[in-house]
Amino acid sequence: MAEDTRTHTFLGVAAYNTVRRRALGPMGVLPQAHGTGLGTILLKRCLRDLRSDGYLTEEIFSVGPIPFYARTVNARIFYQYAKPFAEDAPRLSRNGLYEVTRPR
pLDDT band of 52, cuts 50, 70, 90 = very high
pLDDT digit string (tens) for 74-87?
Answer: 887 776 665 555 56
* pLDDT single digits (tens) 20-38: 888 888 888 999 999 999 9
- What does the DSSP assignment read for 27-80? EEE-GGGTTTTHHHHHHHHHHHHHHHTT-SS-EE-S---HHHHHHHH-------
Give me the domains of the chain, ranges plus CATH numbers.
2-99 (3.40.630.30)
Helix H or strand E segment including 91: strand 91-92
Which residue, 68, 59, 81, 64, is CA-closest to 37?
Answer: 68
